[in-house]
Amino acid sequence: MRVALKLHMPEPEDLPVHYAHWVQAAVYGLFSPAVADVVHEEGFVAESRRYRLFAFSRLMGRYQLNRAARSLRFLGPVVLVVSSPLSALVHDFANAILRTETLRIGPVRFILDSVTFAEPKVNGSRIVVRTLSPVTAYSTLLKADGSRYTAYFDPHERQFADLVARNLTRKHMALFGCEGPSPAGFLWRPRGRVQLHVVRYQDIVVKGYSGVFEVQGPPELLQIGLDAGWGAKNAQGFGLTELLAG
């Protein structure tokens, strides 16, 4: 399930280009204490990894970019989408913003105009999706001297699809407590131009990709990707897509 918030600024204000950590804080701030404790403090565990099982989009709307100040100013309505396979989580978040009718992203206050719910459904083993926030896939590797480094992969590389597929199987385990269908044969194919995004999340630099992608795999896993996000760092503002076909 997902909810789309249509928002506006009562007064024009600037946001930094890298604002995802502020959006994450705003989302967590609207969860009820019980939900926030489960999602943030405990998470959903699979193979010693914790998953938050929600994702959110970038702020979508027309904006003016100030390259020198590395800031942007929205020039009209803004849409934020929050998605999760846990409908109770989505409803908890939506109910909170319906009560407050405002969303504070860092120092900037947005006013709520409307709330729209949707439940996009996967109907087969092949879908086409468009990113609402960049998708990231990476591995932590060792250098010859034993130090660690992060290797990010491009959607054209086979490792990207393999990492996304393994991530989906772990999310299935975290969500349902059992192994899901085999991801053998999972495919992730760019359709047209792919854009690289180098995003600073607090003190961490993350590389992600946006575009339109064809994805093939077991429908059950595809549904998890659509709802919980694809790849890594979904609760930090990565991996949310909209369903175009399938």
> DSSP string of 61-105?
S-EEEETTTTEEEE-S-EEEEEE-S-HHHHHHHHHHHHHH-EEEE
CB atoms within 10 A of CB 172: 23
DSSP output for 6-39: EEE-SS---EES--HHHHHHHHHHHS-HHHHIII
- How would you label 78-117 residue by residue, b for 16+ Cβ within 10 Å and e otherwise? bbbbbbbbbeebbebbbebbeeeeebebeebebeeeeeee
In the block, residue with structure tokens 């999760």? 84
Percent of the chain with pLDDT over 90: 86
- The one catalytic residue in 18, 21, 40, 197 is 40
CA distances from 204 to 18, 20, 195 (A): 11, 12, 20
18 in active site: no
Alpha carbon distance 128, 106 (integer Å): 34
Yes or no: say if 238 and 56 are a contact pair by the CB < 8 Å rule: no
Does the predicted TM-score (pTM) go above 0.85? yes
Is residue 28 annotated as part of the catalytic site, yes or no?
Answer: yes
Name the catalytic one among 28, 63, 91, 201: 28
**For the residues of 181-231, what is the DSSP string, one character each?**
---TT-EEEEEEEEEEEEEEETTEEEEEEEEEEEEES-HHHHHHHHHH-SS
Residues 54-94 have pLDDT tens digits of: 999 999 999 999 999 999 999 999 999 999 999 999 999 99
pLDDT at residue 39 above 90?
Answer: no
Model confidence band, residue 142 (pLDDT cutoffs 50, 70, 90): confident
In the structure, what pLDDT confidence band is assigned to residue 38 with cuts at 50, 70 and 90? confident
Domains observed in the chain? 2-118 (3.30.70.1890), 126-245 (3.30.70.1900)
Model confidence at 216, pLDDT cuts 50, 70, 90, reads: very high
- For residue 11, how many other CB atoms are within 10 A of its CB? 6
